[in-house]
Amino acid sequence: MITGLQMRAARALLGLDQRQLAQASGLSLPTIQRMEASDGVVRGNVDSLMKLVDALAASGIELIGEGAASSGGGRGVRLK
Which pLDDT tens digit goes with each residue over 41-64? 998 899 999 999 999 999 999 998
- Model pTM score: 0.85
Question: What domains sit in the chain, N to C, each tagged with a CATH number?
Answer: 4-79 (1.10.260.40)
Looking at per-residue pLDDT, the higher value among 5 and 78 belongs to: 5
Confidence of residue 65 (pLDDT cuts 50, 70, 90): confident
Average pLDDT, the chain: 90
DSSP structure string for the chain: --BHHHHHHHHHHHT--HHHHHHHHT--HHHHHHHHT-SSB--S-HHHHHHHHHHHHHTTEEEE-TTSS-TT-SSEEEE-
